Structure formats: structure tokens, C-alpha cells
């Protein structure tokens, strides 16, 4: 009885048979007549009762397997009623007539004839619900709890605790893969702590700003990824690697201590302004869902204001948008913004296309340095043809309210978006692990942080040797995902006293959208550009977007985008950062 399914099936059969017997007995007493033959569909009452009890046992097993221990009595009874009504429709109207060589009996007169059986089934549903409710509790008391969700596990059942910090590509994939490798072994308790309660699918973030995709559609909730992993929306107030604990603040007003046997650092990166406070104070960043929505609302606000601005110089400043940094984030953002702003002018009758300026500033020789020179040049040519100005080998050196300084030139612009640099998340900087000069934890090729036995690092916050190229693994989603898979394997191996393996990944290429139906792609050494690359981009990223539901929603967004103009209503603002200060430290979080 220590196996979940054995226990639930046994109890389901017992409760199903008992509730079937009692309800039939009561029905025979109260309704009498042909009720027993109606229930089993046989003219001989004893055979009919046998058939009915068989279905009652099946009803019990099904209900027992699907019912939750956490439901209260009222919910459980409602579930029992709904479940029994469904079973009546299937068994009495379809299965029994078919077994007797008849057609399903679902015409109104036939259904009315079988209503007495529905009353029996509903009574049985109530008995079944109550029976299961109490027998589950008794069984837990007699035989001990079988953990189905991690919170049910008593402290002594946990042999190892893995704490994953960060709910991005690296953290989520590590927890998900490790959970898969562990199967039903719940003695390893995984906790994932993340500042946001969703995974952000960053490759589609520019589409949110450009209004092509709804924000929630690229941000599947973390809790939908796991069966047993405990998810805490929170952030570490302190990481104590000497004591193997993390103090978590989670917005409850009370900080908690989370002990661990293995700690995974996957907290990503933060924008780097290279110490320029003016730029930091006046620029938008472009890393989170709230960044994307704030930029979008800001752009719509500027269009509204510009439409009512009689002064052409002021109007020009309102319609000048400067994006700094020409990696994936900056290039895709300016391409999307260009489409959005120019495509929305149709609504703003006082604005003209030639008043709009979108400027991409970058210090390098070419935009999209992740791509080959040929593809980057293609992207640049396309962007320029669509109205984007590209200032290469240039730097934004200062910014103020309504001004942006590029080199020595001071430009009037109400929008500055900074994508020019990232730093490993500072939350891991002073925890006592070896870091490089940017603040990334340095790992070995097995992803273990140098000098630590049980601290691991992946993704944008880690400096990881890439044995394939001899350099460091690049800070991309593609690498974070592969690192996470290796890390899950290694955690599973180490927990089971097996050796960890080396991280090794051959880049599959890179893809970037540079504007309406235009992309550049380098996949497995082959180069594509234009519409085909754009379709490839959409196909590949749609397939990688987690959860079927989000895939369908994004697909619908794309279809709608083909037929309708972009929406210029303000989007609801989301605040993803933690806001509540914790005051106390109590006990250990289970």
C-alpha cells in the first residue's frame, strides 16, 4: 500500500462497490420497481446488480485516481456529483444499450425513462466523494503519507535539496530536466526561486514592444512546467555558501532560510551602463516584460503628444527614437519599433513619415556581430531602406531629459533605449565564489563553480569554458538551455554517486528578425535571408516557445497581425520586480 496507484485503485474499488451497493439498496427501497434492471440493463436482477457493481467499482477507481487530497468536503461532493452524472450519461445511455445490441439511448423519451438511474448515480456520487475523502485520510494515518506533491513530504523523507536560483532559460530547464530524470523519486527536493513568476521568452520580446504579440503569450508561468518542483517567487537576500543556505525574501514580509545540498546559480544578467549615471537615469532598458510594455506605452504616448504638438522642432524630438546596442536585442527592437511607429502613423493624421527618426547606435564595425558579415550587411541594408539610421563605430556618451549625446553631437530625442551591455547579476557577486572581472561565477567544464563542491553556475551569470571553441560559452538562450541539460544530468549523477560529464555544445547558428517579414539566419552553417529566413525564424522559435497553449496564442497573434493594423491602445503595466521588504528571518522553508 505504499505505492500511490495501488493504494488509490484498491480504495477506489472498495469505496465504489460499497457506494454502489448502498445507493442501489436505498433506491430499491425508495423507488422499487425495475430500478435494479435499469441500472445493469439485464432482465435478471442479480445479473443486473452484478453489472452495476462492476461499473460502480470502475467509477470508484476513476474518481479515486483523479480526486485531490486538498479538496474540502464541499468541493469533493460537487466533484462526485459531476463525475457520477457523467458516468450515468456514458454507462446508462450508451454503454449498456450498446452491450445489449441497441443504439445509444439519448433521444429525450429514452433519457426521461432512465432518470431514476440518474438519481441512483447522483446518490452514489455523494457517497463516493465522502467515502474517498475519509478513506484517504485514514489510509494516510494507517500506512503513512504517499507524497504526490512536494509539500506532502515529511522532512525525514528528503535526502537531498537542490535550490535553483533564477527562473529563466537556464534555471527552468535545469529544474525540469532534473525532475524528469528523478521520475517518482521525491527524496530529492527541488526548489526554484525566481524574481518573476514566469519564464520570459526573450527572442520574442521585441514583438511585444512592436505590438505583434501579447505580453502574457511569451511568458508561460513557472508553475506550469513542473509536477513536484516547489516554486517560490522571491529573491535571495543572502547566499551563505559556507553554511549551505539561502535566505529568501518572497514578498510575505518574512524572510526564510532555505537549506540546500546543491545550489544552482542561474540568475542571468542585468544591464550595464558602464558607470554612466545620466544614461542610467534617462534610458529605458530592454530585458524584462515590464521593460517591453513600458517602452511600448511610452512610444504610443509620444505619438499621441506629437499629434497635438504644433511646434515642428518639439514634434521632431518626440518622434526621435535612439536604440543603443546592435546585438539581437537592439537590432530586433529597432526593426520592430520602426514597423510599429511607421505603421501607426496612419492613425495620427498630423504626423508625417519623414518626421520620424529611428537611430541605431553601436560601437562595432557591423550590426548583429553574432552573424556573418554578409548577413549583417544584408540586415543593415534592409533596415536603412525602411528608414532606420545606423550609426556604427559610435557611442552614446551622455543623456539628459529629452537629449541624447552621440559622440559630441547632442540630439533632441525623447526616447533612449539601452541594450549595449550586460553584467552578470550582482546578486552573486559577493557570495564568496570565484568570479571573473565582470562578476560572472567561473565554472569548470562540468559547470561546477571553481573551488565549490555543490555550487553550480549556468547561463548569463556564469563564465563557462566552451571546450568546442576554446573560448567562453556565449551568453545566449541556446547555450543556457544546453548548459541546463548537462547540469541536470550532472546533478542527478552526483546525487547518485556517479561522475558528472563535460559540457559540450556545437552552436546551431543564429537567427534575427530585422523588420517586417525579413530576417537573417545562419543554421547549421547555411545562410538564409529575407522572407524564407523570417518564416524559418517564426517556425523555429514557435517550436521552442514553451507550452502548447502559448504556442497557439502566439500563432493566433501572428494571424491577427496579418489581417488587422497594430493596436495603439496602452497596454496594462506589469511590475515584475519584488516590492516588499522582508523584516524577519524565521525557521527553514520546507
Interacting residue ranges for ligand FAD, rule: CB under 6 A = 165-171, 193-196, 202-203, 205, 235-236, 266-268, 286-287, 328-329, 425, 427, 459-461, 475-478, 480
Give backbone dihedrals phi and psi of 534, rounded to 5 degrees, phi first: -65, -45
Question: Are the C-beta atoms of residues 77 and 126 closer than 8 Å to each other?
Answer: yes
- Kindly state the cell numbers that stand for 227: 509536477
**Among residues 41 and 236, whose Cβ is nearest to ligand FAD?**
236
**Among residues 92 and 367, whose Cβ is nearest to ligand FAD?**
367
Identify which of 330, 334, 307 has the alpha carbon closest to the alpha carbon of residue 319.
Answer: 307
Q: Can you name the residues that pair with 245 across neighbouring β-strands?
A: 240, 259
**Among residues 366 and 422, whose Cβ is nearest to ligand FAD?**
422
CB of 329 to ligand FAD, least distance (A): 4
CB of 413 to ligand FAD, least distance (A): 21
**What CA–CA distance (Å, rounded) separates 513 from 533?**
8
**Among residues 320 and 478, whose Cβ is nearest to ligand FAD?**
478
Q: Indicate the pairing of strand 415-418 with strand 284-285.
A: parallel
CA 69 to chain centre: 26
CB of 371 to ligand FAD, least distance (A): 11
**Among residues 266 and 420, whose Cβ is nearest to ligand FAD?**
266
**What CA–CA distance (Å, rounded) separates 489 from 447?**
11
CB of 452 to ligand FAD, least distance (A): 18
CB of 576 to ligand FAD, least distance (A): 7
Nearest residue relative to ligand FAD (C-beta):
168
Query: Which residues, other chains included, contact 393 with Cβ-Cβ below 8 Å and sequence gap of 6+?
Result: 363, 364, 365
**Among residues 96 and 449, whose Cβ is nearest to ligand FAD?**
449
**Among residues 133 and 328, whose Cβ is nearest to ligand FAD?**
328
- Kindly state the cell numbers that stand for 408: 559630441
**What CA–CA distance (Å, rounded) separates 566 from 560?**
9
**Among residues 97 and 268, whose Cβ is nearest to ligand FAD?**
268
CA 375 to chain centre: 32
**What CA–CA distance (Å, rounded) separates 276 from 109?**
81
3-state SS class at 581: coil
CB of 151 to ligand FAD, least distance (A): 21
Q: Indicate the pairing of strand 518-523 with strand 509-515.
A: antiparallel
- Kindly state the cell numbers that stand for 49: 446488480
**Among residues 264 and 359, whose Cβ is nearest to ligand FAD?**
264
**Among residues 319 and 462, whose Cβ is nearest to ligand FAD?**
462
Give backbone dihedrals phi and psi of 399, rounded to 5 degrees, phi first: -155, 150
CB of 80 to ligand FAD, least distance (A): 40
3-state SS class at 3: coil
DSSP assignment of 451-516: T-SSEEE-GGGEE-B-TTTSSBPPSSHHHHHHHHHHHHHHHHHHHTT-----------EEEEEEET
- Supply the DSSP symbol for 401: T
- Supply the DSSP symbol for 402: T
Identify which of 154, 169, 76, 162 has the alpha carbon closest to the alpha carbon of residue 476.
Answer: 169
**What CA–CA distance (Å, rounded) separates 452 from 442?**
10
Task: Please state at what angle helix 115-143 crosses helix 4-30, rounded to 10 degrees.
Answer: 140
CB of 390 to ligand FAD, least distance (A): 18
**Among residues 68 and 508, whose Cβ is nearest to ligand FAD?**
508
CB of 482 to ligand FAD, least distance (A): 10
CB of 286 to ligand FAD, least distance (A): 6
**Among residues 411 and 461, whose Cβ is nearest to ligand FAD?**
461
**Among residues 76 and 478, whose Cβ is nearest to ligand FAD?**
478
Q: Indicate the pairing of strand 396-400 with strand 388-391.
A: unpaired
Compute how many other C-beta atoms are within 10 angstroms of the C-beta atom of residue 385: 10
Environment class of residue 12 by beta-carbon count within 10 Å: exposed (0-12), middle (13-18) or buried (19+)? buried
CB of 496 to ligand FAD, least distance (A): 25
CB of 328 to ligand FAD, least distance (A): 4
Question: Are the C-beta atoms of residues 273 and 259 closer than 8 Å to each other?
Answer: no
Environment class of residue 504 by beta-carbon count within 10 Å: exposed (0-12), middle (13-18) or buried (19+)? exposed
CB of 205 to ligand FAD, least distance (A): 4
**Among residues 193 and 210, whose Cβ is nearest to ligand FAD?**
193
CB of 511 to ligand FAD, least distance (A): 7
Amino acid at each position: 500500500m505504499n505505492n500511490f496507484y495501488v493504494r488509490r485503485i484498491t480504495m477506489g474499488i472498495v469505496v465504489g462497490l460499497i457506494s454502489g451497493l448502498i445507493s442501489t439498496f436505498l433506491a430499491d427501497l425508495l423507488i422499487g420497481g425495475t430500478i435494479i434492471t435499469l441500472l445493469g440493463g439485464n432482465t435478471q436482477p442479480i445479473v443486473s446488480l452484478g453489472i452495476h457493481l462492476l461499473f460502480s467499482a470502475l467509477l470508484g477507481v476513476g474518481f479515486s485516481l483523479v480526486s485531490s487530497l486538498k479538496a474540502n468536503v464541499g468541493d469533493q461532493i460537487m466533484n462526485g456529483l459531476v463525475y457520477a452524472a457523467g458516468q450515468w450519461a456514458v454507462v446508462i445511455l450508451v454503454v449498456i444499450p450498446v452491450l445489449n445490441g441497441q443504439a445509444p439511448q439519448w433521444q429525450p423519451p429514452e433519457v426521461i425513462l432512465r432518470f431514476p438511474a440518474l438519481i441512483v448515480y447522483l446518490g452514489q456520487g455523494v457517497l463516493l466523494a465522502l467515502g474517498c475523502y475519509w478513506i484517504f485520510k485514514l489510509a494516510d494515518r494507517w500506512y503513512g503519507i504517499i507524497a504526490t506533491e512536494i509539500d506532502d513530504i515529511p522532512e525525514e523523507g528528503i535526502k537531498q535539496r537542490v535550490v535553483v536560483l533564477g527562473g529563466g532559460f537556464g534555471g527552468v530547464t535545469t529544474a525540469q530536466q532534473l525532475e524528469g530524470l528523478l521520475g517518482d523519486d521525491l527524496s530529492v527536493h527541488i526548489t526554484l526561486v525566481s524574481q518573476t513568476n514566469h519564464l520570459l521568452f526573450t527572442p520574442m520580446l521585441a514583438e511585444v514592444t512592436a505590438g505583434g504579440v501579447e505580453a502574457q503569450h511569451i511568458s508561460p508561468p513557472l508553475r506550469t512546467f513542473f509536477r513536484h518542483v516547489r516554486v517560490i517567487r522571491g529573491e535571495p537576500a543572502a547566499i551563505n555558501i559556507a553554511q549551505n543556505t539561502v535566505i529568501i525574501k518572497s514578498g510575505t514580509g518574512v524572510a526564510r532560510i532555505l537549506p540546500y545540498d546543491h545550489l544552482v546559480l542561474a540568475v542571468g544578467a542585468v544591464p550595464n551602463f558602464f558607470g554612466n549615471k545620466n544614461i542610467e537615469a534617462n534610458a529605458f532598458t530592454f530585458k524584462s516584460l515590464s521593460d517591453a510594455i513600458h517602452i511600448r506605452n511610452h512610444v504610443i504616448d509620444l505619438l499621441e503628444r506629437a499629434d497635438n504638438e504644433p511646434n515642428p522642432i518639439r514634434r521632431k524630438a518626440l518622434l526621435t527614437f535612439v536604440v543603443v546596442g546592435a546585438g539581437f536585442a537592439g537590432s530586433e527592437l529597432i526593426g520592430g519599433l520602426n514597423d510599429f511607429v511607421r505603421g501607426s502613423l496612419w492613425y495620427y493624421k498630423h504626423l508625417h513619415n519623414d518626421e520620424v527618426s529611428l537611430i541605431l547606435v553601436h560601437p562595432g564595425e557591423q550590426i548583429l556581430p553574432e552573424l556573418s558579415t554578409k548577413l549583417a550587411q544584408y540586415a543593415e541594408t534592409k533596415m536603412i531602406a525602411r528608414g532606420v539610421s545606423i550609426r556604427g563605430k559610435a557611442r552614446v556618451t551622455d543623456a539628459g531629459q529629452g537629449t541624447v549625446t552621440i559622440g559630441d553631437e547632442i540630439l533632441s530625442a525623447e526616447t533612449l533605449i539601452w541594450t549595449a551591455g550586460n553584467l552578470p547579476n550582482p546578486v552573486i557577486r559577493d557570495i564568496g565564489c570565484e568570479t571573473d572581472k565582470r562578476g560572472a561565477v567561473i565554472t569548470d567544464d562540468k559547470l561546477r563553480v571553481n573551488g565549490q563542491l555543490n555550487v553550480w553556475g549556468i547561463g548569463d551569470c556564469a563564465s563557462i569554458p566552451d571546450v568546442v571553441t576554446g573560448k567562453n560559452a556565449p551568453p545566449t538562450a541556446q547555450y543556457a538551455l544546453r548548459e541546463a541539460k548537462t547540469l541536470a544530468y550532472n546533478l542527478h549523477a552526483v546525487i547518485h554517486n556517479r561522475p558528472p560529464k563535460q559540457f559540450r555544445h556545437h552552436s546551431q547558428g543564429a537567427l534575427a528578425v530585422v523588420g517586417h517579414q525579413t530576417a537573417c539566419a545562419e543554421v547549421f552553417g547555411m545562410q538564409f535571408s529575407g522572407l524564407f529566413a523570417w518564416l524559418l525564424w517564426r517556425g523555429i522559435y514557435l517550436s521552442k516557445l514553451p507550452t502548447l497553449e502559448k504556442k497557439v496564442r502566439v500563432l493566433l497573434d501572428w494571424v491577427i497581425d496579418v489581417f488587422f493594423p497594430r493596436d495603439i491602445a496602452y497596454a496594462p503595466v506589469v511590475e515584475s520586480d519584488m516590492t516588499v521588504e522582508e523584516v524577519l528571518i524565521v525557521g527553514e522553508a520546507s
